Amino acid sequence: MLNKLFSFWSKDIGVDLGTANTLVYVAGKGIVINEPSIVAVNQKTGKILAIGTQARTMVGRTPGYISVTRPLVNGVVSDFEVTEQMLKYFIDKVHQESFSLLPRPRVVIGVPSGVTEVEKRAVEDATYSAGAREVYLIEEPMAAAIGSHLPVQEAVANVIVDIGGGTTEVAVISMGGVIAWRSLRVAGDKLTDDILRYMRQERNLLIGEATAENLKIHLSSAYFMEEELEGRIRGRDLVSGLPKEVLVTSNEIRGAMQRSVRSIVAAIRSTIEETPPELTADLVNRQIYLAGGGALLRGLPDLIMHETKLSVKIVDDPLTAVVRGCGFVIENIDELRPVLLATQTESFL
């Protein structure tokens, strides 16, 4: 009886709880939230000051007693209490228009492949504590494949590469299960860090994370381009300590990220090599699908194609593939229950 009442008051949701961004899909409505996974906390009082977009505006602009952090590292919970508050904020935001006094939604939430039982339990418990009445976990590459409309329940090989902020997930999926996989803690954040390190060590220039992210978006590439790009950036000269402007080329940025990009390609190759021969044969006539923000890296499909000799395609709207998959699962929970991970915690009801 209570379950029926809660279902009437609450909206079932799918959540892509990413290292960089959190996206929320409301069943029957679509994606309603896409905000940074960032929280600002007053260390003196322990009070949370801002979450999401508002917290991002505080990065690099707060006094020492206010920390602006990401409560998730490499796609898993690193700060339980802050993650709980962030999820509660997003759940309440989804329900604020419906004036629900006690929203208790069912939630499908994506987690990286190969997470430990402790890491799964942390996500599950944080989601329950944030107000969910039922929590279902799904591996992110499976969610990305479903969100990309791949035939995951058929007996064919579906290769999906989800390059997020904290992790790169590579998986071969067939008949509703993951056949071979790799979870690599090299993704968008690592590429940004590579640029920061290069500018500091090779150009003696100290730049902020936002500047490095901007360079990654506008100048980076994984493969040689016919026309190289260039741009000017400002930072602090490490020799003089004074502000300085320098010219940076896409060739430099590509070199700075080369090792990390190569490790992603190597993970794709090793995953395919571990795939059973019957499914490997399918790949000759199928494609490797790229999802996540990293899929937008210039030249990445060309590099993967060159290294694997297989066709590569970027899925439609790669940034939202995982949350769309979570949303589709919550809308068809009975049919797609077999693709979910086993959970440790039973529903409160």
CB 37 within 8 A of CB 70: yes
CB 341 within 8 A of CB 120: yes
Does residue 117 have a pLDDT over 50? yes
**Mean predicted confidence (pLDDT) in 211-232:** 92
pLDDT given at position 135? 96
pTM for this prediction: 0.90
pLDDT given at position 228? 86
Instruction: Say if 151 falls within a structural domain.
Output: no
The answer to whether residues 242 and 283 belong to one domain is no
Does residue 248 have a pLDDT over 90? yes
Largest Cα–Cα separation, the chain: 70
Ramachandran class of 188: left when φ > 0, alpha when ψ lies in -120 to 50, beta otherwise: alpha
pLDDT given at position 66? 92
The answer to whether residues 24 and 126 belong to one domain is yes
Dist. CA 40–CA 18, nearest whole Å: 17
pLDDT given at position 156? 94
The answer to whether residues 57 and 103 belong to one domain is yes
Domain count, the chain: 3
Instruction: Say if 137 falls within a structural domain.
Output: yes
For position 27, which CATH number holds? 3.30.420.40
Instruction: Say if 65 falls within a structural domain.
Output: yes
The answer to whether residues 207 and 220 belong to one domain is yes
The answer to whether residues 295 and 314 belong to one domain is yes
pLDDT given at position 100? 59
The answer to whether residues 303 and 167 belong to one domain is yes
Instruction: Say if 148 falls within a structural domain.
Output: no
pLDDT given at position 1? 45
Q: In the structure encoding, which two tokens stand for residue 116, read together?
A: 């430990």
For position 232, which CATH number holds? 3.90.640.10
Instruction: pLDDT band for 264, please (50, 70, 90 cuts).
Output: very high
Q: In the structure encoding, which two tokens stand for residue 109, read together?
A: 């939430």
Q: In the structure encoding, which two tokens stand for residue 76, read together?
A: 């898993």
- What is the percentage of the chain residues whose pLDDT exceeds 90? 75
The answer to whether residues 131 and 45 belong to one domain is yes
Instruction: Say if 152 falls within a structural domain.
Output: no
User: E strands along the chain, which residues?
Assistant: 13-17, 21-26, 30-36, 39-42, 48-51, 66-69, 72-73, 76-77, 106-111, 134-139, 158-163, 168-174, 177-184, 205-206, 230-237, 243-249, 287-291, 311-314
Does residue 288 have a pLDDT over 70? yes
The answer to whether residues 179 and 269 belong to one domain is yes
Instruction: pLDDT band for 325, please (50, 70, 90 cuts).
Output: very high
208 is in which domain, residue-wise? 188-256
The answer to whether residues 246 and 268 belong to one domain is no
Does residue 348 have a pLDDT over 60? no
Binding residues for ATP: 19-21, 165-167, 213-216, 293-296
pLDDT in tens, 141-198: 999 999 999 999 999 999 999 999 999 999 999 999 999 999 999 999 999 999 999 9
Instruction: Say if 165 falls within a structural domain.
Output: yes
Q: Report how far apart, in Å, the C-alpha atoms of 170 and of each of 16, 42, 263, 328, 332 are.
A: 17, 38, 12, 21, 24
The answer to whether residues 131 and 222 belong to one domain is no
The answer to whether residues 209 and 305 belong to one domain is no
Instruction: Say if 217 falls within a structural domain.
Output: yes
Which of 56-65, 114-123, 248-257, 324-333 is predicted with the least confidence, judged by mean pLDDT?
56-65
134-139: strand order across its sheet: 30-36, 21-26, 13-17, 106-111, 134-139
Binding residues: 19-21, 165-167, 213-216, 293-296
> Residue 268: is it exposed, middle or buried by C-beta count within 10 angstroms (0-12/13-18/19+)?
buried
The answer to whether residues 164 and 306 belong to one domain is yes
In the chain, helix, strand, coil percent, each to 5? 40, 25, 30
